């Protein structure tokens, strides 16, 4: 099993990171849960077929796939050797590229060409090429910059809100966020959901949980201390959120956790 990620170093990049993933015959059949990362992804299956299973639907993933914002985990399965590459986008990038309500794409895996022919065309050449690692990241970022279409004047303010949330690692309330915005609460909620795909409250909650999981996986601090560090009232509150995001209890999850998921969480 391989999972290698190459994060962008630019603060204004459209792409958060480029990744390469593979499951060899030695780990087949492979199965793992996927924790939502508060960002959409676009992936290209170079070899094999990947199945994604949500609470509502099962997907056979082939070709170039757009995965919208997910708020809860889903499972992936590979029953033959698999190789894929892809990009994780910054939260507002999809809106900048499509200029449409991104929340309509949330909690779905979709063939990219069914969503946008222009976006599919721009990325297909690079994704199907032999470019790897940072060379692929640079080429894909260049391809996306050439097709940004949205001129919505509210994007900068939503980007600012996203940056505040991520900088604070989700340790900010919606009310605190509103105090720093030029929008009213209703306007912020409307634009944020349309451009990011999640409400500000859900995005904050997911960022806090993801940062806690990253800290835990890096073994910087034990779970009990992390629960209080990330402003959970008590362990019961954390376990409730864990069940919400992961569809599982912490005890069951950590017992079955894969090396792939550890790498995926840490990026």
> What CATH number labels 155-266?
1.10.10.60
Q: Tell me phi and psi for residue 76, to 5 degrees.
A: -120, 150
> Are the beta carbons of 148 and 14 closer than 8 angstroms?
yes
Distance CA 181, CA 93 (A): 20
3-state secondary structure of 192: helix
* pLDDT the model gives residue 265: 67
Segment-wise mean pLDDT, segments of 10 residues, the chain, 267 residues? 89 92 89 90 92 90 94 90 94 97 96 96 94 95 95 95 95 93 93 97 92 76 76 80 84 73 68
pTM (predicted TM-score): 0.91
Do the two domains 2-145 and 155-266 of this chain adopt the same fold? no
Is the alpha carbon torsion for 146, 151, 157, 162 positive or negative?
A: negative
216-246 b/e (C-beta count within 10 Å ≥ 16 → b)? beeeeeeeeebbeebebeeeeebeebbeebb
What are the tokens at 136?
A: 């692929």
What are the tokens at 238?
A: 């954390």
For β-strands 41-47 and 64-67, DSSP reports them as antiparallel
Annotation: CATH topology of 2-145: Jelly Rolls (2.60.120)
* pLDDT the model gives residue 76: 92
- DSSP-derived letter for residue 121 is H
What are the tokens at 93?
A: 């990038």
How do the domains of the chain map onto residue ranges?
2-145, 155-266
């Amino acid at each position: 099993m391989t999972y290698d990620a190459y994060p962008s170093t630019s603060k204004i990049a459209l792409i958060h990171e480029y990744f390469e993933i593979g499951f060899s015959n030695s780990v087949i059949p492979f199965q793992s849960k996927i924790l939502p990362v508060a960002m959409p992804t676009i992936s290209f299956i170079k070899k094999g077929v990947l199945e994604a299973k949500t609470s509502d639907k099962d997907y056979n993933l082939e070709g170039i796939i757009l995965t919208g914002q997910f708020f809860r985990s889903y499972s992936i399965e590979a029953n033959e050797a698999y190789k894929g590459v892809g990009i994780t986008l910054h939260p507002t990038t999809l809106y900048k590229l499509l200029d449409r309500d991104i929340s309509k794409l949330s909690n779905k895996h979709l063939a990219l060409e069914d969503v946008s022919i222009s976006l599919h065309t721009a990325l297909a050449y690079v994704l199907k090429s032999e470019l790897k690692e940072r060379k692929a990241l640079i080429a894909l970022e260049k391809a996306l910059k050439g097709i940004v279409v949205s001129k919505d004047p509210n994007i900068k303010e939503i980007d600012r809100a996203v940056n505040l949330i991520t900088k604070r690692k989700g340790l900010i309330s919606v009310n605190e966020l509103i105090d720093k915005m030029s929008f009213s609460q209703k306007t912020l909620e409307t634009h944020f959901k349309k451009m990011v795909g999640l409400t500000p409250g859900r995005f904050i909650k997911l960022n806090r949980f993801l940062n806690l999981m990253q800290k835990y996986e890096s073994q910087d601090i034990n779970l009990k201390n992390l629960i209080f560090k990330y402003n959970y009232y008590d362990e019961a509150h954390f376990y409730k959120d864990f069940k919400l995001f992961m569809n599982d209890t912490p005890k069951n999850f950590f017992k079955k956790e894969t090396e792939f998921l550890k790498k995926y969480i840490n990026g």
